[in-house]
Amino acid sequence: MKKVCSLLKDDGLFLLHTIGSKTSQKTNDSWIHKYIFPNSMLPSAKQISSAIEGVFVLEDWHNFGSDYDKTLMHWFENLKSGWNTLKKNYDERFFRMWKYYLLSCAGSFRARYNQLWQIVLSPKGIPGGYRAHYK
């Protein structure tokens, strides 16, 4: 966080877009670690807050997690519907792995275990506060 902050102008903003976990951990799911995201870890709100303390001003923290399983389900439907084309370049193992990954992750978001966060941070604080604009 200190490095990111050092790269921003005083009035700059940092958007951290990340998947997070409702509990603090230091490792990821062993299957996801082995096959999808080696050396990954889903931070908790506590871990992110600790990392930004004394470095950034928290301007906005938005949670899109309750909607993210829909995105993952659409990705799975796209994988299924495009499989006849994709299987020319990929084997059944690839299909099974991505099916498992997408559906298990959708379940973790649906169960509200995982979250999708967009966090807006500033080095010095925005005079008058930050206002998110949604369209």
Kindly list the catalytic residues. 105
**The two three-digit tokens of residue 27, written as one number:** 């490792």
Cβ proximity of 86 and 36 under 8 Å: no
Reduce the DSSP state of residue 9 to 3 states and report it. coil
Write down the number of H helices and E strands in the chain. Answer: 6, 3
Q: Using alpha carbons, select from 61, 75, 47 the residue that is nearest to residue 116.
A: 61
Q: Which residue has tokens 């990705």?
A: 75
Question: SS3 for 93?
Answer: helix
Q: Is 29 exposed, middle or buried (0-12, 13-18, 19+ CB in 10 A)?
A: middle
